[in-house]
Amino acid sequence: MRTWRLTILTLLLAATAACDGQKKDRKAEAPPAPASQTAPATPSPPTTQPTELVSLAWRPSNSNQNLQAFDLEVSGLDVLAVCHVPPGWTINATGAGEGVTALKGQATVGAAFVSLDDMEDIAGLFLVRARPSETFAVKGDITTGTYGGDQTEIQATTALLRREAADRCPPPKG
């Protein structure tokens, strides 16, 4: 226990003894030893890295452009949870805890592509924890397109993923 807890515990025990209704000679009792002398201080538990929410930071350049898929390899962090899946999408996170995590997502039908009006669908996708001894890195690509049928693959960088402090996944959108 921490030393301040021992001090509080000692005070509570002394107060309980004073109120227990027994008539004892209080002068004969030795005062309680200070908490720092009763038990050695225990080391504090190791600190863990804080958790974060990860969002895709991609934005369409115009109202005709959309996000269709992503295929990423992320290192330097562990994916703790997939917080939500955009409507009409599938998302898989594999290899978490092994140093490199594969994050794959795709729209199952064209109507589910993420457009300018649907940017909240790619916010807060993953709950992660940074690996303290590793550098954050991203490899892979995202597939964008237009509603006319053109597709483009964009090389992924760390700037593609926006990270923000959070202790849990956000509540479901409703």
Number of domains in the chain: 2
The answer to whether residue 34 scores a pLDDT higher than 70 is no
The answer to whether residue 29 scores a pLDDT higher than 70 is no
Same domain, 142 and 60: yes
Model confidence, pTM: 0.69
State pLDDT tens for residues 43-69: 555 557 899 999 999 999 898 999 999
Burial 1-29 (b: 16+ CB within 10 A, else e): eeeeebeeeeeeeeeeeeeeeeeeeeeee
The answer to whether the CB of 38 falls within 8 A of the CB of 31 is no
Q: Which domain holds residue 55?
A: 51-165
**Picking from 30-39, 103-112, 142-151, 156-165, which range would have the lowest pLDDT averaged per residue?**
30-39
Q: Flag whether 15 is in a domain.
A: yes
Same domain, 66 and 24: no
Q: Flag whether 174 is in a domain.
A: no
Q: Flag whether 170 is in a domain.
A: no
Q: Flag whether 43 is in a domain.
A: no
Q: Flag whether 87 is in a domain.
A: yes
Same domain, 147 and 102: yes
CATH assignment at residue 97 = 2.60.40
Q: Flag whether 46 is in a domain.
A: no
Q: Flag whether 132 is in a domain.
A: yes
Per-residue pLDDT at 109? 87
The candidate with the shortest Cα–Cα distance to 67, out of 147, 164, 133, 166, is 147
Per the model's pLDDT, the better-predicted residue between 42 and 56 turns out to be 56
Helices (H) and strands (E) in the chain, counts: 2, 9
Per-residue pLDDT at 48? 74
Same domain, 33 and 58: no
Same domain, 59 and 32: no
**Angstrom distance (rounded) from CA 65 to CA 100:** 30
State pLDDT tens for residues 58-101: 999 898 999 999 999 999 999 999 999 999 999 999 986 777 89
